[in-house]
Amino acid sequence: MRVLHVNTELGWRGGERQTLLTLQGLTSRGVETALAAQLGGRLAEVAESLGIEVFPLKMRGGADPLAAFKLARVARRFGANALHLQTAHAASLALLARVFGLKARLVASRRVDFPITRAWKYNRMDIIAAISGKIRDVLVEGGVEAKRIRIVPSGVPTDVRIPPNLEALRRELAEYAPIVIGTVGHLADHKGHRVLLDALPGIITREPSLRLVIVGDGELRGALERQASDLGIADHVLFAGFREDALDLIWAFDLFVLPSLLEGLCTTLFDVMLRGVPIVGSDTGGIPEALDNGRYGALVPPGDPRALADRVLAILRDDAAKKAMTDGAAEWVRERYSVDAMVDSTVGLYREVLG
């Protein structure tokens, strides 16, 4: 089988990491793969540096006829008998590429639990890989045929080691604060950073020697910095920006907080569990599924700053609760959410589609 992966994102987020991990895993299993990625994008750059065959394309959304024409040409050149469409725009482009002679079968990954507005697009895919049961439910509720959907959870590398510079990282993040809570993610509205900042005054009133570290960048950074200033908590918040060593920084957290309003699954939770850090997350989307319904992390109602503050304080002060949620968490991830499990399931999809 020859599979061309298509990712239309210019930046680097969880979906791009998953695309790269999938490509690497498939290559190690002897599947012939290549990547059509955004010209000048981070994914194309990283994939090329790792020896993956990359076809850089300028793609202006899902309704770009020139990009669709070029995608059809790239698929023919590569000899693809399947396209794995890693973004919603990629799925749209592939359908448009049919006009230009694209014959390959279509596999689409769906990673977000936003409501479906174009069910017809997904009903023209040969198969859809939803990364969580919640996303499958959202697809079906939006009119997508259930017979087309398979659940293929995202995966993460499970071989983790404490970074040798952990003490230096801790000093960098904490300065003189004895308690550090942190979150990692793109600074977008659905990630709930506003809620976390609204919760912070109630936290530092009772734990004044605490610092919040927000790792990641995005369109909301300026607004979030202003919010922290307006709330009078700027001295307690570090906006660390995008960090290549984001996974190393997790080791320095006393607690990881995921305040999302919408969330398909969030593989960062698996990275956190592998590092033995306790979690407080929103009870929404695929988060309960990832945390085994609260067994490996405390769940709070999304969008509720007071409930979030109360639960963060409760977990920070309860060593028994922290131990209970971290015991067995790494094994849970290794059994269900490893890269190997994800890639094995993905190969199964291709075999099903290609016969």
Q: What is the pLDDT of residues 337-350, one digit of tens each?
A: 999 999 999 999 99
Burial 140-174 (b: 16+ CB within 10 A, else e): beeebeeebbbebbbbbebebeebeeeeebbeebb
Per DSSP, helices labelled H in 110-217 are 119-122, 133-141, 166-174, 193-204
Low-confidence ranges of the chain (pLDDT < 50): none
What is the value of pTM for the model shown? 0.91
Backbone angles phi, psi at 155, to 5 degrees: -135, 160
Work out whether strand 255-258 and strand 179-184 pair parallel, antiparallel, or are unpaired. parallel
The CA-based angle 132-292-339, given to 5 degrees, is 55
Other CB atoms within a 10 A radius of the CB of residue 191 amount to 25
The CA-based angle 133-290-257, given to 5 degrees, is 130
- pLDDT score, position 248: 97
- pLDDT score, position 189: 96
Backbone angles phi, psi at 64, to 5 degrees: -105, 100
- pLDDT score, position 327: 97
Q: Which amino acid is it at 18?
A: Q
Contact 188, 218 (CB under 8 A): yes
Which domains, from first to last, does the chain contain?
2-155+338-354 (3.40.50.2000), 166-336 (3.40.50.2000)
Structure tokens at 24: 């690497």
Among residues 213, 220, 272, 268, which one has the least CA distance to residue 240? 213
Report the C-alpha gap between 194 and 228 in whole angstroms: 9
- pLDDT score, position 355: 84
- pLDDT score, position 58: 97
- pLDDT score, position 293: 95
